[in-house]
Structure 1
């Protein structure tokens, strides 16, 4: 399929997509949208972050909303506040030229009273983190009895964050929903249990191969150096980037904290994003990054979930990830909306085998760059 019209997307949403410069469907969109527009169904989609899942499930959900019916009809569950806000923002943009469809994002770490007040307004779709949604249901602040479509986005991430009990509860609350769509990068045993317990046995299954998920507009480079040389090489790279913005990834909280402090000490407009931050501290970092007062964020893989900032020029792997899906998640933060991007890995000679592994597993080519003395 070459365009969204051929996939069956209505003309009002086509205008919204065109306005966002989204013209050619990704593989997950091409394969999933016709199934979900074809009638009530359950679906399991296996795809990494950055493959276009929000449009893959968001557009079919929007088609199902009856705008004259002022009740919650669609529910999207996701692991983090940032991802929830990002999904809600995307749905808003898709509906720019359609009848008004109201979406509300609710999540932990924010005053629940304000969210309860917001839900008193007409709301068609709720995007929620699992813990906060269970709290709202217990307080009778949200009515899920009219929900016809439930989406679990990044289901494996919700599981790894300890939300298995809440997911089972929510899917029990919405057991009458005609459509249950689950998306996950990996399929651990806990996800299989959720699928077997809550989705129909004839649910459609769509898997986007890991070999096809890395954005073709990303240039992958690596530089070999000793561990003690990494900071100076990073500083050289950052000075070459002038006002460009990007993300720098570390594997651990301690490494991310240390590197952020080292950059700040050199008057570089950077900050850290890791699991030890309070929500208000995290929000402060993200606000500064989005308004341009920070040029870069040093992040761990989990802390970076849901970050969606336009115009990121590069991603630096200061420490290589252990898993290929993390390499995909990291790299996918750049080269959004048809733009080009750079994914640079700083590796020791011992880590070369990881570069060769990612190259083969993800079907991408790496270019080696040399140190400048």
Structure 2
């Protein structure tokens, strides 16, 4: 059995991690630590959160830091304040017996003045979010990175998904060329490969598991239900796992709050985590969840980024995410540190095709199960109650004082009746609720209806495409026959009027209006335009407003918070072989044809 001492960890660092309960190195630690201690090579580490990667890069950083040099020697960048705080806390624990080694965390949403003072007092290691670090470097000009020896990009895929590419570029440009760069990521999309090629020198690649694969200790379960029964199925699944401690993922803020409210009203110990909460509300909810005063957290993917909670038993996908890689992140929040976890997907029939894609990516098989029946739930809850009864600690000294009075009170009950009374006291709620509960499964009628609706939808799409082809053919035939000039002129005038109306229209409040050099002459449809925006920005939650398609150009409106994102994301992009040009419509560009 390999030990940390054999990996090269010195006595003062070894003492601190032994007090933290570290016994045997985890696989990624066993691979990474010797390499970082013995070489100056760049590294790409492919590992899920919870596999021990913080110690893999943190222990060598602590051990190699020169205490006498007061300037920053290591910079660790992480996507969220929560992950930033967690990494900084871990490093401080590792450095418990490394005298005068200072770790400083800097992140948004906190007092910048206090963070600046901490940096000015001397920081050997900085753990930062890209946004705040960029501010301190390029706006406040507080930090100098001339002596940085190691840069760590932790959860690089998440940082890029959150739109931090520009900030990362600005930060990394101010670090020495001689530095070592360590990049850790759960998945390896092309954007992460691009940043590795741009900023790393022949990096060595080390993987804990397969690239983009799911965590080894997670079981994946699939429940297929009609869409209208999704919430009932969620409650049934929660009730079937009495000891559940988990996160329920939803797609939108509205849905997250709605599901949390319903669960609370139905007596569940739950709360919501989403972007509309203040920082104080967010921290309060996360604290309650971490100390297990909350059993269930209903969250969006954005809100849960960087939220690291130990011992989660379940992750429930109330909706599948738009991107398969996001499912990998979700499911990887459970089944950590050698413990088993369960990732559950609740889908309708039309979503089931996505499961095969996920199985191929995760290299895992989903086990499809029927939604538990009322009897299944009651039996599971009853046996959980019996297990707790069997293992509960009894304070005989205190209980024995009251036992004579209790025995006298209950002496009329037989042993069997006493058991029934006790179980009923704890269990009547479930018995009453599930007494006449229907099974939640696809009936033949519902199955047929969903299939028919799916076929109708495809048929309507096919009809629309056929009509569009027919209209194009008719227009071509009319052109070939040569319509009278008056009719052609009227058609042109209508086009001019339509174009002028779109040109003069102003953006809705809260939206920015853009001019794009593509129109229906370029075979552009609203669906194509929305797909182009989603694909180029990698932000499928951006709200898209009105779209006005013209002949050779078009207008579209987008949430004004993403104005710069749209302008930068579409720069240099091609559509059907034509280079795309996008400008704000309100700056006079809308008059260009």
- The TM-score normalised by the length of structure 2 is 0.57
Q: Which structure's CA Rg is the greater one?
A: 2
Q: 1:193 to 1:356 in 2, by over 3 A?
A: closer
Q: Give matches, 1:179-190, under 5 Å.
A: 179-190=180-191
**For the Cα contact (< 8 Å) 1:51–1:213, is it kept in 2?**
no
**For the Cα contact (< 8 Å) 2:212–2:325, is it kept in 1?**
no
**For the Cα contact (< 8 Å) 2:188–2:212, is it kept in 1?**
no
Write the distance in 1 (CA, Å) between the matches of 2:128 and 2:169: 15
SS in 2 for 1:173: coil
The two structures, once aligned, show a CA RMSD in angstroms of: 2.7
SS in 2 for 1:330: helix
**For the Cα contact (< 8 Å) 2:61–2:74, is it kept in 1?**
yes
Residue in structure 2 matched with residue 327 of structure 1 by the alignment = 327
Residue in structure 2 matched with residue 61 of structure 1 by the alignment = 61
Number of residues of Structure 1 aligned to a counterpart in Structure 2: 372
Residue in structure 2 matched with residue 78 of structure 1 by the alignment = 78
User: How much does 1:224 deviate?
Assistant: 2.3
Residue in structure 1 matched with residue 305 of structure 2 by the alignment = 305
Write the distance in 2 (CA, Å) between the matches of 1:347 and 1:25: 38
User: How much does 1:155 deviate?
Assistant: 1.9
**For the Cα contact (< 8 Å) 1:148–1:176, is it kept in 2?**
no
Write the distance in 2 (CA, Å) between the matches of 1:280 and 1:219: 34
- The TM-score normalised by the length of structure 1 is 0.88
Instruction: String of CA shifts for 1:244-272, please: whole Å, max 9, x gaps.
Output: 42111123333323212222332423222
Write the distance in 2 (CA, Å) between the matches of 1:290 and 1:209: 27
**For the Cα contact (< 8 Å) 2:223–2:347, is it kept in 1?**
yes
Write the distance in 2 (CA, Å) between the matches of 1:244 and 1:321: 22
Q: Give matches, 1:130-145, under 5 Å.
A: 130-137=130-137, 138-145=139-146
SS in 1 for 2:352: helix
Instruction: String of CA shifts for 1:302-333, please: whole Å, max 9, x gaps.
Output: 32111112232211111123444322221222
SS in 2 for 1:136: helix
Write the distance in 2 (CA, Å) between the matches of 1:115 and 1:265: 41
User: How much does 1:275 deviate?
Assistant: 3.1
**For the Cα contact (< 8 Å) 2:148–2:176, is it kept in 1?**
no
Residue in structure 2 matched with residue 250 of structure 1 by the alignment = 250
Residue in structure 1 matched with residue 290 of structure 2 by the alignment = 290
Of structures 1 and 2, the one scoring higher in RCO (CA 8 A, sep 6+) is 1
Residue in structure 2 matched with residue 118 of structure 1 by the alignment = 118
Write the distance in 1 (CA, Å) between the matches of 2:353 and 2:31: 34
Higher helix share: 2
Write the distance in 2 (CA, Å) between the matches of 1:338 and 1:21: 14
Instruction: String of CA shifts for 1:188-241, please: whole Å, max 9, x gaps.
Output: 4544443333322x3323345536853333333222222222212222333344
Residue in structure 2 matched with residue 31 of structure 1 by the alignment = 31
**For the Cα contact (< 8 Å) 2:245–2:314, is it kept in 1?**
yes
Write the distance in 1 (CA, Å) between the matches of 2:323 and 2:43: 26
Write the distance in 2 (CA, Å) between the matches of 1:221 and 1:237: 11
Residue in structure 1 matched with residue 383 of structure 2 by the alignment = none
**For the Cα contact (< 8 Å) 1:27–1:208, is it kept in 2?**
yes
**For the Cα contact (< 8 Å) 1:212–1:363, is it kept in 2?**
no
Q: 1:355 to 1:189 in 2, by over 3 A?
A: closer
Write the distance in 1 (CA, Å) between the matches of 2:13 and 2:318: 40
Write the distance in 2 (CA, Å) between the matches of 1:90 and 1:328: 24
Residue in structure 2 matched with residue 198 of structure 1 by the alignment = 199
**For the Cα contact (< 8 Å) 2:51–2:337, is it kept in 1?**
no
Q: 1:20 to 1:217 in 2, by over 3 A?
A: farther
Q: Give matches, 1:222-237, under 5 Å.
A: 222-237=222-237
Residue in structure 1 matched with residue 318 of structure 2 by the alignment = 318
User: How much does 1:16 deviate?
Assistant: 4.0
Q: 1:134 to 1:75 in 2, by over 3 A?
A: same
Instruction: String of CA shifts for 1:19-40, please: whole Å, max 9, x gaps.
Output: 4444444443333222212122
